[in-house]
């Protein structure tokens, strides 16, 4: 790929950052208060705009309801646009209320299921007001003990709810179904792996696609193979990018296993270039979203680092010599194919990305520019240090 084509591909890259990554959020055990951390959705949007200003590839911010609840979402949309970003995926919350102790849409009590479904439909309406394309669904539903509930009944309850939400989506919108191997349900999680998520999506309709969170797998699972499979099925809808050392740690993407991130992007780039319109169309419409809780890191700088790591992995994947790779694969030349594939990974793309940024009027070194700008010191003075406790944010 020549430089012009490479730069054009980099121009098309988009990484959505999450509102919750800018506030005080962390592990279930403790959330450490950070000076200048965003206290409300408007400050979160301002931080997201700063990340986009410095990187040029993070033009949207995902919202979490009710953490980011406001009385006028149309005005919030205008507020974001005035700062150079748009509102992205809407993430409902059906895991924090006391009623959800035994589940939300899979709860044995119909009244609790109705409450959870009403919230999901409320978020569909919020999508209309914000202009959001994606409804990002994650369910903490599950059981802790054998015999606690009927597993097949819970599966049917989940599907019934998904079907109602799917049919309520506006034209052009999608619902992205996330899965998680375990936690917080320790015996059986209702949306427990990519196969279950795929089966639900196929059953409920074309607007349903699978969301892959990099932290939601067992150790040594081949995530890029899952990505390839879902791309080929036309059902890969999005990513929640993060990294884990042990389980769902929500570390900065690309920090613990950069080769895995590269391999994932390699599959995505290959699919974008596929002759099959279904595969290439799916790849071009994947939503790339960060999902991280920065507990001990500076919030904005951590998000910039996350975006840059994704950009580097994508640039390396674009450098794969696809013709040489295909030739080696067709000959069954195992080691030559591996060398071609890993040569791109070993390439230092930072000089190339500095050139790309310079040509587009962006800082060549976004981290250095952020530190030199005084932005962090400014928001620390203006916002102070908000109180923080344990676990996730809570609705005020």
Structural domain count, the chain: 1
Give the position of tokens 């780039």: 269
**321 pLDDT tier (thresholds 50, 70, 90):** very high
The pLDDT, as a whole number, for residue 392 is 54
**% the chain with pLDDT above 90:** 90
Q: Exposed (0-12), middle (13-18) or buried (19+): which is 257, by Cβ within 10 Å?
A: middle
**305 pLDDT tier (thresholds 50, 70, 90):** very high
Give the position of tokens 């974001």: 80
The pLDDT, as a whole number, for residue 218 is 93
Lookup: tokens for 143: 């059981």
The pLDDT, as a whole number, for residue 104 is 98
Q: Where are the beta strands (DSSP E) in the chain?
A: 17-18, 60-65, 86-92, 134-137, 142-143, 174-178, 188-189, 208-213, 236-241, 287-290
Helix (H) or strand (E) holding 375: helix 375-383
Cross-strand partners of 135? 90, 175
Give domain status of residue 356, yes or no.
yes
- Say whether pLDDT at 311 is over 60: yes
Write out pLDDT tens, residues 162-211: 999 999 999 999 999 999 998 899 999 999 999 999 999 999 999 999 99
The pLDDT, as a whole number, for residue 30 is 78
Give domain status of residue 114, yes or no.
yes
What is the rounded average pLDDT of the residues 220-225?
96
What is the rounded average pLDDT of the residues 307-317?
98
What is the rounded average pLDDT of the residues 255-277?
96
Read off the DSSP letter of residue 170.
Answer: P
Terminal Cα-to-Cα distance of the chain (whole angstroms)? 51
Give domain status of residue 297, yes or no.
yes
Give domain status of residue 395, yes or no.
no
What is the rounded average pLDDT of the residues 268-296?
94
**Strand 208-213 relative to strand 188-189: parallel, antiparallel, unpaired?**
unpaired
Give domain status of residue 147, yes or no.
yes
Read off the DSSP letter of residue 333.
Answer: -
For the beta carbon of residue 75, count every other beta carbon within 10 angstroms: 11
The pLDDT, as a whole number, for residue 358 is 98
CATH number at residue 167: 3.20.20.150
Nearest Cα neighbor of 190 from 276, 103, 119 is: 103
Q: Is 189 helix (H, G, I), strand (E, B) or coil?
A: strand
Write out pLDDT tens, residues 75-132: 999 999 999 999 999 999 999 999 999 999 999 999 999 999 999 999 999 999 999 9
CA distance 197 to 120: 17
The pLDDT, as a whole number, for residue 18 is 97
Q: For residue 103, which phi and psi values (nearest 5 degrees)?
A: 125, 170
- Say whether pLDDT at 326 is over 70: yes
pTM: 0.95
Give domain status of residue 389, yes or no.
no
Helix runs in 241-365, H state only: 258-272, 277-284, 299-318, 322-331, 334-346, 350-359
**Are the C-beta atoms of residues 147 and 154 closer than 8 Å to each other?**
no
Write out pLDDT tens, residues 9-40: 999 999 999 999 999 876 667 788 899 999 99
- Say whether pLDDT at 390 is over 50: no
The pLDDT, as a whole number, for residue 27 is 66
The pLDDT, as a whole number, for residue 183 is 87
Give domain status of residue 249, yes or no.
yes
Cβ neighbors of 16 (< 8 A, separation 6 or more) are: 58, 60, 61, 62, 88, 89, 287, 288, 289, 290
The pLDDT, as a whole number, for residue 355 is 98
CA distance 361 to 184: 45
Give domain status of residue 371, yes or no.
yes
**394 pLDDT tier (thresholds 50, 70, 90):** very low
**What range does the domain containing 290 cover?**
3-383
Long-range Cβ pairs for the range 229-235 (8 Å, 24+)? 229/194, 230/194, 230/198, 231/267, 231/268, 231/271, 231/279, 231/282, 231/283, 232/271, 232/279, 233/198, 234/278, 234/279, 234/281, 234/282, 235/198, 235/201, 235/202, 235/209, 235/210, 235/282
């Amino acid at each position: 790929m020549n430089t012009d084509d490479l730069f054009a591909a980099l121009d098309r890259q988009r990484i959505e950052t999450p509102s919750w990554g800018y506030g005080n959020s962390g592990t279930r055990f403790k959330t450490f208060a950070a000076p200048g951390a965003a206290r409300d959705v408007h400050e979160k949007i301002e931080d997201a705009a700063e990340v986009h200003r410095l990187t040029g590839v993070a033009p949207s911010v995902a919202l979490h309801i009710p953490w980011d609840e406001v009385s006028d979402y149309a005005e919030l949309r205008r507020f974001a646009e005035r700062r150079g970003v748009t509102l992205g995926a809407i993430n409902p919350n059906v895991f924090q209320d006391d009623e959800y102790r035994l589940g939300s849409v899979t709860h044995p009590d119909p009244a609790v299921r109705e409450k959870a479904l009403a919230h999901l439909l409320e978020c569909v309406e919020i999508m209309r007001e914000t202009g959001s394309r994606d409804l990002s669904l994650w369910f903490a539903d599950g059981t802790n003990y054998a015999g606690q509930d009927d597993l097949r009944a819970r599966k049917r309850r989940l599907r019934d709810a998904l079907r109602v939400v799917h049919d309520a989506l506006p034209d052009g919108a999608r619902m992205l179904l996330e899965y998680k191997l375990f936690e917080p349900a320790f015996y059986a999680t209702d949306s427990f792996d990519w196969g279950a998520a795929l089966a639900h999506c196929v059953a409920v309709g074309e607007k349903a696609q699978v969301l892959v969170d990099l932290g939601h797998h067992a150790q040594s699972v081949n995530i890029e193979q899952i990505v390839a499979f879902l791309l080929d099925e036309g059902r890969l809808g999005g990513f929640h990018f993060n990294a884990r050392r042990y389980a769902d740690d929500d570390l900065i993407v690309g920090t613990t296993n950069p080769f895995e991130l590269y391999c994932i992007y390699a599959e995505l780039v290959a699919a974008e270039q596929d002759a099959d319109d279904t595969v290439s169309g799916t790849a071009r419409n994947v939503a790339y979203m960060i999902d991280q809780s920065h507990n001990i890191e500076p919030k904005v700088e951590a998000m910039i680092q996350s975006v840059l790591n994704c950009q580097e992995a994508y640039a390396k994947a674009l450098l794969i010599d696809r013709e040489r790779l295909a030739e080696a694969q067709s000959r069954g030349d195992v080691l030559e194919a591996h060398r071609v594939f890993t040569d791109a990974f070993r390439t230092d793309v930072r000089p190339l990305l500095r050139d790309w940024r310079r040509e587009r009027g962006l800082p060549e070194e976004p981290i250095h520019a952020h530190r030199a700008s005084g932005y962090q010191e400014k928001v620390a003075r203006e916002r102070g240090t908000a109180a923080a406790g344990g676990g996730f944010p809570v609705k005020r």
